[in-house]
Amino acid sequence: MQVMDANDGVVQRLRAAGCVFAEQEAALLLAAAAEDPQAATLEEMVAERVSGTPLEYILGWAEFLNLRITVSPGVFVPRQRTRYLAELALHRVKAQARNVSEAAQLSQSGPARDVVVLEMCCGTGAVATVLAAAVPSARVYAADIDPAAVECAQRNLGARGQVYCGDLFAPLPQELRGRVDVLVANAPYVPTEQIALMPPEARLYEARTALDGGPDGVTVQERVAFQAVQWLAPQGRLLMETSRDQAPLTAELMERAGLRVKVKSSKKFYATVLTGTLG
Ligand SMILES: C[S@@+](CC[C@H](N)C(=O)[O-])C[C@H]1O[C@@H](n2cnc3c(N)ncnc32)[C@H](O)[C@@H]1O
């Protein structure tokens, strides 16, 4: 006789509901139910998941480069492909921190200045949080138009960074103009007509402003690039995630904005990132 435990039952229900990673999801839901008895019961969480709610909204967090990132309902769930953007940005922030420290030693002008990092269109602030955790000496800022995202990102960054709410660069302190060394952006880039083709977890649960990139998907990217040039430091860098198909359009608009552009792709992460250097 085969004995079924609670876990088997959950796995079967999740699998029947179409969850591809039913085993892993069941383990996470069981752990969440055991971790916090004040929160929803296992039965409530499984029912929510079966009805289609994204796992991260039920758990309240997503794993991103070994960090547990708080995710509030409606706020864009950080995608695993965005690890590529975070890793490239991290490489750049570390290199820049070394540069400023060497320059300060050579000129004997006192302590090195802080490296300034900005995550524009930050959502949960997952990328900014990775950067702040890895390079504590960096001054980290983030911004988003969605107050729920801003609240979530500030929770993730805590005292390690400051998050602003508003349209692109508008809410940022003026003293950051011309001072940003590394500007990282995963702005919405889904062409409006393609939103209807997205999986229900995105289409029905994530805010439309987090997805909609306008008719050809690059409307927000274009605004980011054209404003970025006023906020980047000399030799500062904009790193922008895009799709493989849109990469030529994104590259063209970044060049028009006055940046020297390189296209970087990763088969491992199935991701494309454009870097644009000022000057
Ligand atoms: C695709 S999500 C990416 C979130 C986050 N960067 C990430 O990778 O997980 C895009 C984000 O851009 C924000 N956004 C859209 N239009 C904006 C605007 N005009 N100004 C600031 N943020 C904006 C949305 O609220 C959303 O959080």
Distance (Å) from CA 76 to ligand 1 centroid:
8
Alpha helices in the chain (DSSP H): 6-16, 22-35, 42-50, 55-59, 82-107, 126-134, 147-157, 200-203, 208-211, 219-231, 247-256
Closest Cα to atom 14 of ligand 1: 121
The answer to whether the CB of 72 falls within 8 A of the CB of 58 is no
* 213 ligand 1 Cβ < 6 A: no
What pLDDT score does 274 carry? 98
* 82 ligand 1 Cβ < 6 A: yes
pLDDT by residue for the chain (279 residues), tens digit each? 454 566 778 999 999 999 999 999 999 999 999 887 777 889 999 999 999 999 999 999 999 999 999 999 999 999 999 999 999 999 999 999 988 888 888 888 777 778 999 999 999 999 999 999 999 999 999 999 999 999 999 999 999 999 999 999 999 999 999 999 999 999 999 999 999 999 999 999 999 999 999 999 999 999 999 999 999 999 999 999 999 999 999 999 999 999 999 999 999 999 999 999 997
Q: Which atom of ligand 1 is nearest to the CA of 241?
A: 8
Q: Which atom of ligand 1 is nearest to the CA of 77?
A: 9
Give, as one character, the DSSP assignment of residue 217.
Answer: S
Closest Cα to atom 9 of ligand 1: 78
* 146 ligand 1 Cβ < 6 A: yes
Distance (Å) from CA 252 to ligand 1 centroid:
21
State the Cα–Cα distance between residues 161 and 154, nearest whole angstrom.
7
- CATH of span 82-278: 3.40.50.150
Distance (Å) from CA 278 to ligand 1 centroid:
23
- Tell me whether residue 167 is exposed, middle or buried, using C-beta atoms within 10 angstroms of its C-beta: 0 to 12, 13 to 18, 19 or more: exposed
Name the token pair of 262. Answer: 């390189």
* 168 ligand 1 Cβ < 6 A: yes
Which pLDDT tens digit goes with each residue over 56-65? Answer: 999 999 999 9
Closest Cα to atom 24 of ligand 1: 210
Closest Cα to atom 17 of ligand 1: 145
**Prediction pTM value:** 0.94
Distance (Å) from CA 124 to ligand 1 centroid:
9
Q: Where are the chain's structural domains?
A: 6-52, 82-278
State the Cα–Cα distance between residues 172 and 157, nearest whole angstrom.
17
* 152 ligand 1 Cβ < 6 A: no
Query: Using alpha carbons only, what angle is made at residue 88 by residues 86 and 91, rounded to the nearest 5 degrees?
Result: 105
Question: Quick one: which H or E segment has residue 235?
Answer: strand 232-242
* 186 ligand 1 Cβ < 6 A: yes
Count of residues in the chain: 279
State the Cα–Cα distance between residues 11 and 180, nearest whole angstrom.
47
The answer to whether the CB of 75 falls within 8 A of the CB of 210 is yes
Helix axes 42-50 and 22-35, enclosed angle (nearest 10): 150
- How far from the centroid of its chain's Cα atoms is residue 100's Cα? 26
Q: Which atom of ligand 1 is nearest to the CA of 85?
A: 8
